């Protein structure tokens, strides 16, 4: 307990120092806010200056393009079902790219994360090496690897798959190793005491503990990877993004196709988000508690 | 866990329990083998769907080789024009890398005029001589001297030391091309060209026209001390081959897109999130509408927003920033409204018991509770948006993403491509570090992030 029988002078002291503290805190907060606002405003003005079209002029034209696409799509609404069917195979390809790269990336991330976690690493001395490797894989945007691979392998889904898988290894590896750090090492020690080797210890001692969390993160990654694979298609890696670019480069007259692709992409993203959200909820909070 | 309450004396109960356990084991075994089998089957399907076997035919090893070789080495061209007899030396054969007339690196001895001999020393005993009358000689150690003469009428005639043509020499009536460990020689009717390869990135610091080309760091420092620092900096920053100044601007633009997009999205999403939170908006229709708007903005992917906005605003960093802003307002709206729903009511009650007005209640009762969640999410997105900004820049044209795609499209500046890749990786890692540092500084007791 504090000494509450302090004399008035000390109370006064405390009061003034408290007031000074509050004032200083307010000044710091205000200063931070002012710096932030200044950064935002000047940043916005710089971006506006270096942009081809200005913000003011552009703002009135934001809805021009969607309106054009929509009006043409409505005009040719009879062709919509046929278009949806026509582009469905590309959508499947985009989904395949995302799914395959998520699976490969999760497998790679799993191994790397186990190798990079203290207490379960196969070679404890190499932990920093594997961590840096994951950092680098995570830092490289997919488009960089995809564009380089398209040059070597030619266009198509494989460069996109490899590019997304490599990024996924880094991203999931980090999340997985965070999960691993909360694992109880007792099963691992128990298995070690009966002579299990490293892979047996990991498969039987660690994976059952972390499985649901892993799957939940992998599902989240799958959602992200669908978007990534659509974007990579746009730079020439196959799938629905590629069709979208073609439909758009034709310009007016093909907007019904662009509209069909927009619809497919939007519906896919929303549906997969909903399903994976529900699944993740079940995995993390338990299905039948 | 399920608990069994069985009478162990009852054999029928034990048998039932046993069969139940066996059933469970069987199911577990099925899952343990079935799941990997399913994944494997899917991957096999994907291999055929993506035509991986056909990839071997489509892949270009030649491209791979150029890419790898070009990213860590460069070549200097020594060219003799057949008509005028002039010899020129240029790095990568580019005008920006050309030596001034009459000047050459020390491994090339220029003849001076058309009647004199120019000697190109390729190292390791390899030597190429440009003799008068469009005759070229190449000494290959262990093979002999190749004698080539070319003329407009007679084409290219080669005199080889051996009777049969080795596979590193490509000879036709109009062209001789050969490649050795030291370099390459190409002779056509119009010109003879020698390539010598060097490790490293050519003219990375200064181009040939700069007086500081070829100076060591100590020498440069001495010049800088003598008041030439600004000139040195200017020559480096304005390097016409590598455009360091422009690259720095592009990096800044990319970071700017991420910064504006992320924080702009947070500013837009925060007030809207109140409208979508159950405990702040009792009106169900409004709440429902707000949430559907968030879902819509999030579901229309960043790609589509980028395309739509690029039509209105044209290419540039503003378009990228707005695309990130739009997509992330949906995500932030969802995250923030969920955080708001988990707010502890007691603090708000406490604040309102002192007579606080609604705005004050939000400011002192709600905001302090959700700040840590919000900040950590925003900072996490700042890092991932740096990557998105690179990608969006490649699509709409802005920032380092644009430079990267441009360099890749030329299909020859792979050293620039690798330079940009290194810069991008460093930029993202720096943002990752910065966001982690800010998270730790701003949010007391946040152990995550490492």
Give me the pLDDT at residue A2, please: 52
Mean pLDDT confidence for B284-312: 84
Q: Are A42 and A75 found together in one domain?
A: no
Q: Is A158 in Cβ contact with B55 (below 8 Å)?
A: yes
Q: Are B295 and B422 found together in one domain?
A: yes
Which residues have C-beta within 8 Å of that of residue B83, sequence separation ≥ 6? B190
Q: Are B336 and B370 found together in one domain?
A: yes
Give me the pLDDT at residue B1, please: 47
A35 in B contact zone (CB under 8 Å) = no
Domains held by chain A: number: 2
- How high is the mean pLDDT of chain B? 81
Structural domain contains residue A244: yes
Interface of A with B in 214-243 (CB under 8 A): 227, 230-231, 234-235, 241
Q: Are A35 and A78 found together in one domain?
A: no
Of the ranges A269-283, B103-117, B191-205, which one carries the lowest mean pLDDT score?
B103-117
Give me the pLDDT at residue A5, please: 58
In terms of residue numbers, what domain contains A12?
8-50
pLDDT digits (tens, 9 = 90+) for B119-154: 888 777 888 888 777 788 888 888 888 888 887 777
Q: Are B40 and B85 found together in one domain?
A: no
Which parts of chain A register pLDDT below 70?
Answer: 1-6, 251-252, 286-289
Q: Are A26 and A97 found together in one domain?
A: no
Question: Residue B63: its chain A contacts at CB < 8 A?
Answer: 151-152
Structural domain contains residue B302: yes
Give me the pLDDT at residue B200, please: 74
B316 in A contact zone (CB under 8 Å) = yes
Cα angle for residues A157, B390, A168 (degrees, 5° grid): 50
Of the ranges B107-121, B137-151, B179-193, B238-252, which one carries the lowest mean pLDDT score?
B107-121
Structural domain contains residue A155: yes
State which of B134, B169, B199 marks the end of a domain: B199
Q: Are A166 and A262 found together in one domain?
A: yes
Structural domain contains residue B204: no
B231 in A contact zone (CB under 8 Å) = no
Nearest to A51 among B55, B318, B411 (CB): B318
Q: Are A20 and A120 found together in one domain?
A: no
Output the six-digit token pair for B284: 């169900």
Higher pLDDT, A94 or B226: A94
pLDDT at B307 over 70: yes
Output the six-digit token pair for B225: 């001390």
For residue B285, how many C-alpha atoms fall within 13 Å in the half-sphere facing its CB? 0
A254 in B contact zone (CB under 8 Å) = no
Q: Are A192 and A226 found together in one domain?
A: yes
Question: Residue A51: its chain B contacts at CB < 8 A?
Answer: 313-319, 398
pLDDT at B298 over 60: yes
Structural domain contains residue B210: no
Query: Which residue in B has a C-alpha nearest to residue A235's C-alpha?
Result: B395
Structural domain contains residue B376: yes
- Distance from C-alpha of B437 to C-alpha of A176, rounded to nearest angstrom: 21
Q: Are A137 and A276 found together in one domain?
A: yes
- C-alpha dist (Å) from residue A118 to A122, A130, A197, A205, B340: 9, 12, 17, 15, 36
Structural domain contains residue A62: no
Percentage of the residues of chain B whose pLDDT score is greater than 70: 95
Output the six-digit token pair for A253: 């007259």
Residue with the two structure tokens 């043509």: B165
Q: Are A73 and A44 found together in one domain?
A: no
Q: Are A30 and A88 found together in one domain?
A: no
Interface of A with B in 115-144 (CB under 8 A): 135-136, 138-144
Which residues have C-beta within 8 Å of that of residue A209, sequence separation ≥ 6? A183, A184, A187
Q: Are B99 and B34 found together in one domain?
A: no
Higher pLDDT, B211 or B448: B211
Mean pLDDT confidence for B263-292: 85
pLDDT band at B450 (very low <50, low <70, confident <90, very high): very low
Structural domain contains residue A115: yes
Q: Are B280 and B406 found together in one domain?
A: yes
Q: Are A163 and A191 found together in one domain?
A: yes
Q: Are B81 and B39 found together in one domain?
A: no
Structural domain contains residue A24: yes
- Distance from C-alpha of B49 to C-alpha of B45, rounded to nearest angstrom: 6
Structural domain contains residue A232: yes
Which residues have C-beta within 8 Å of that of residue B118, sequence separation ≥ 6? B78, B80, B87, B108, B109, B110, B111, B129, B130
Structural domain contains residue A29: yes
Strand residue runs (E) in B152-221: 155-159, 169-171, 175-179, 183-188, 191-199
Domains held by chain B: number: 3
Q: What ipTM does the predicted assembly reach? A: 0.82
Of the ranges A110-124, B193-207, B308-322, B343-357, which one carries the lowest mean pLDDT score?
B193-207
Helix residue ranges, H only, B2-95: 11-49, 55-58, 61-72
- Distance from C-alpha of B370 to C-alpha of B336, rounded to nearest angstrom: 8
pLDDT at B397 over 80: no
Q: Are B180 and B156 found together in one domain?
A: yes
Q: Are B106 and B146 found together in one domain?
A: yes
Give me the pLDDT at residue B262, please: 92
Q: Is A269 in Cβ contact with B301 (below 8 Å)?
A: yes
Q: Is B307 in Cβ contact with A270 (below 8 Å)?
A: no
Structural domain contains residue A153: yes
Structural domain contains residue B95: yes
CATH number, domain at B380?
Answer: 1.10.3720.10
pLDDT at B449 over 60: no
Give me the pLDDT at residue B258, please: 92
Q: Are B291 and B193 found together in one domain?
A: no
- Distance from C-alpha of B144 to C-alpha of B375, rounded to nearest angstrom: 72
Q: Are A104 and A37 found together in one domain?
A: no
Q: Are B138 and B25 found together in one domain?
A: no
Give me the pLDDT at residue B419, please: 87
Structural domain contains residue B136: yes
Q: Is A156 in Cβ contact with B50 (below 8 Å)?
A: yes
Mean pLDDT confidence for B282-287: 82
Q: Are B353 and B274 found together in one domain?
A: yes
CATH number, domain at A174?
Answer: 1.10.3720.10
Residue with the two structure tokens 């999760």: A106
Structural domain contains residue B328: yes
pLDDT at B435 over 50: yes
Q: Are A107 and A215 found together in one domain?
A: yes
Residue with the two structure tokens 């907060």: A29
pLDDT at B98 over 80: no
Q: Which of B296, B324, B308 is nearest to B387 (CA)?
A: B324
Structural domain contains residue B299: yes
Q: Are B363 and B252 found together in one domain?
A: yes
Nearest to B408 among A65, A151, A230 (CB): A151
Q: Which of A152, A229, A246 to mutate to test the interface with B (most CBs of B within 10 A)?
A: A152
Q: Is A152 in Cβ contact with B67 (below 8 Å)?
A: yes
Which residues have C-beta within 8 Å of that of residue A192, sequence separation ≥ 6? A201
In terms of residue numbers, what domain contains B80?
74-199
pLDDT digits (tens, 9 = 90+) for B37-73: 888 888 888 888 887 777 777 777 777 787 787 778 7
Nearest to B391 among A93, A138, A141 (CB): A141
């Amino acid at each position: 307990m504090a000494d509450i029988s302090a004399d008035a002078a000390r109370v006064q002291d405390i009061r003034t120092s408290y007031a000074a503290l509050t004032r200083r805190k307010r000044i710091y907060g205000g200063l931070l806010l002012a710096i932030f606002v200044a950064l935002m405003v000047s940043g916005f003005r710089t971006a506006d200056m270096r942009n081809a079209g200005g913000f003011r002029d552009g703002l009135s034209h934001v809805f021009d393009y969607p309106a054009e696409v929509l009006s043409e799509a409505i005009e040719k609404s009879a062709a919509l079902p046929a278009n949806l069917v026509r582009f469905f195979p590309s959508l499947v390809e985009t989904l395949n790219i995302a799914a395959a790269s998520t699976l490969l990336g999760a497998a790679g991330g799993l191994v790397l994360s186990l190798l990079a976690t203290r207490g379960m690493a196969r070679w404890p001395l190499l932990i920093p090496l594997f961590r840096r490797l994951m950092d680098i894989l995570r830092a490289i945007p997919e488009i960089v690897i995809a564009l380089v691979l398209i040059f070597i392998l030619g266009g198509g889904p494989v460069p996109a798959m490899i590019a997304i898988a490599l990024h996924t290894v880094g991203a999931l590896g980090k999340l997985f190793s965070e999960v691993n750090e909360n694992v109880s090492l007792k099963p691992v020690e128990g298995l070690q005491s009966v002579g299990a080797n490293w892979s047996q210890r990991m498969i039987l001692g660690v994976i059952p503990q972390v499985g649901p969390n892993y799957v939940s993160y992998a599902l989240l990654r799958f959602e992200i990877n669908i978007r990534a694979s659509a974007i990579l298609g746009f730079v020439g890696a196959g799938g629905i993004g590629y069709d979208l670019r073609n439909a758009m480069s034709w310009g007016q007259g093909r907007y019904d196709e662009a509209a069909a692709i927009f619809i497919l992409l939007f519906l896919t993203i929303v549906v997969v988000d909903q399903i994976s959200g529900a699944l993740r909820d079940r995995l993390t909070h338990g299905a039948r508690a | 866990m399920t608990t069994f309450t069985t009478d162990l004396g009852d054999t029928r109960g034990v048998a039932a329990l046993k069969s139940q356990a066996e059933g469970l084991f069987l199911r577990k075994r099925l899952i343990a083998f079935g799941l990997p089998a399913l994944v494997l089957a899917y991957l096999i399907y994907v291999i055929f769907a993506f035509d991986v076997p056909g990839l071997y035919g489509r892949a270009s090893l030649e491209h791979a080789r150029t890419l790898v070789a070009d990213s860590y080495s460069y070549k200097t061209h020594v060219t003799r024009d057949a008509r005028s007899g002039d010899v020129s030396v240029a790095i990568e054969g580019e005008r920006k890398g050309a030596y001034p007339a009459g000047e050459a690196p020390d491994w090339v001895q220029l003849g001076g005029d058309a009647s004199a001999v120019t000697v190109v020393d390729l190292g390791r005993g390899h030597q190429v001589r440009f003799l008068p009358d469009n005759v070229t000689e190449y000494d290959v150690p262990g093979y002999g001297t190749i004698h080539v003469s070319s003329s407009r009428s007679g084409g290219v005639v080669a005199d080889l030391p051996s009777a049969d043509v080795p596979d590193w020499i490509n000879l036709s009536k109009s062209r001789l091309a050969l490649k050795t460990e030291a370099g390459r020689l190409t002779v056509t009717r119009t010109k003879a060209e020698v390539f010598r390869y060097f490790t490293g990135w050519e003219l990375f610091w200064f181009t040939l026209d700069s007086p500081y080309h070829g100076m060591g760091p100590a020498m440069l420092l001495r010049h800088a001390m003598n008041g030439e620092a600004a000139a040195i900096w200017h020559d480096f920053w304005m390097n016409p081959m590598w455009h360091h100044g422009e690259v720095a601007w592009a990096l800044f633009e990319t970071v700017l897109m991420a910064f504006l997009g992320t924080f702009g999205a947070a500013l837009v999403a925060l007030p809207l999130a109140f409208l979508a939170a159950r405990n702040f908006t009792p009106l169900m229709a409004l709440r429902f509408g707000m949430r559907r708007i968030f879902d819509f903005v999030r579901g229309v992917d960043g790609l589509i927003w980028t395309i739509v906005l690029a039509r209105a605003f044209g290419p540039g960093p503003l378009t990228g920033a707005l695309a990130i802003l739009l997509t992330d307002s949906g995500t932030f709206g969802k995250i923030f409204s969920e955080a708001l729903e988990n707010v502890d009511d007691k603090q708000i009650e406490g604040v309102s018991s002192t007579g606080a007005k609604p705005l004050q209640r939000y400011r002192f009762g709600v905001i302090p509770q959700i700040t840590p969640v919000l900040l950590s999410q925003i900072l996490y997105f700042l890092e991932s948006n740096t990557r998105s900004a690179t990608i969006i820049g490649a699509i709409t044209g802005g920032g380092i993403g644009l430079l990267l795609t441009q360099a890749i499209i030329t299909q020859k500046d792979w050293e620039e491509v690798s330079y940009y890749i290194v810069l991008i990786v460093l930029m993202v890692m720096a943002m990752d570090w910065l966001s982690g540092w800010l998270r730790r500084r701003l949010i007391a007791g946040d152990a995550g992030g490492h």
